[in-house]
Amino acid sequence: MPAATPGPRAGRYAPSPSGDLHLGNLRTAILAWVLARRTGRTFHLRVEDLDRVQEGAAQRQLEDLAALGLDWDGEVVRQSERGADHEAAIGSLTAQGLVYECYCTRREILEAPSAPHAPPGAYPGTCRDLSPAEREAGRVRMRELRREPALRLRAEVTEWSVQDLWEGEVRGAVDDLVLRRGDGVVAYNLAVVVDDAAAGVDQVARGDDLLSSAPRQAHLAHLLGLPEPTYAHVPLALNTAGARLAKRDGAVTLRDRLAAGESAADVVERIGESLGLAGCRSAADLLEAWDPAGMSRRPWVVDLPA
């Protein structure tokens, strides 16, 4: 197995500890590991525990990844312990005049008319250019609602381009994304950019449901003076009905499969078959056998035995 070369180049896997990882999550983790190891990058694990934390889930996730043969470099990073760096990034953007308070509720944002050509759900800029009196009225309203204003980025562009391993150049929309929510929790888009840069991550492998977020995050990195990573967005796993795979779809986690009489090697073999590779019984086998150039862009339909 090729050894990782210590240095600033790194890949990562960053699960949210909201429950056990299902087969699609495990497949993405393996591919992120393979891509990093094949290219001489270090490989890091980060627990994204700012939201939706299930007690004990993070430890179970780490145990499952290790059972499949994945290893990682350095200590596991917990996002909740990186608040000082997140706040420093917000401070840097504030000093540049790129942060403003937002007094909108989620319902108001959903019901507001979008700007021309903006994607669904894009923030329409309601609070971007309020007068001082309007801002004070917004603060009064937030106090009445017993919440703080959200902080938003004053984006400098409406589009940004990123490079994806399989999709090539992807140009996507950028809006005034949230930096810190009204409940005081730093937003995912900010935390992931700051944390990846701190770990030297220059290759982000993750599910392709996050592809539309990449231009926003790359633009944010640019504004913070951080390197913009390249991306490798992996097709999602679906159930037989064509919906995104979820734990409610049955025995779809590693522990479920073990309880059904399969081994960790059987699970890796199933993942290998989804990549057109037969007989791969370990992550090391996939590292040697998988050719990223042949990656299918079709989702993986998971059809498990009854």
**Annotated binding site for ATP, which residues?**
247
Let me know the angle formed at the C-alpha of 54 by 50 and 56, rounded to the nearest 5 degrees.
Answer: 110
Rounded Cα distance, 53 and 158, in Å: 33
Q: What are phi and psi of 119, to 5 degrees?
A: -70, 160
Q: E strands of the chain, at which residues?
A: 10-13, 42-47, 77-78, 99-102, 150-153, 159-164, 168-173, 178-180, 203-207, 230-234, 237-238, 300-301
Whether the CB-CB separation of 230 and 11 falls below 8 Å is answered with no
Looking at the chain, the number of H-run helices and the number of E-run strands are 10, 12
Q: Which residues are annotated as a binding site?
A: 12-16, 48, 102, 104, 123, 127, 188, 206, 247
Neighbouring residues of 154: CB distance < 8 A, sequence distance ≥ 6: 97, 98, 99, 100, 128, 176
Q: What are phi and psi of 204, to 5 degrees?
A: -105, 110
The H-or-E segment that residue 30 falls in is helix 23-38
Rounded Cα distance, 11 and 42, in Å: 6
The H-or-E segment that residue 25 falls in is helix 23-38
Residue appearing with tokens 């009196």: 133
Q: Which residues are annotated as a binding site for Zn(2+)?
A: 102, 104, 123, 127
Give the tokens for residue 291. 């050719």
Q: Which residues are annotated as a binding site for L-glutamate?
A: 12-16, 48, 188, 206
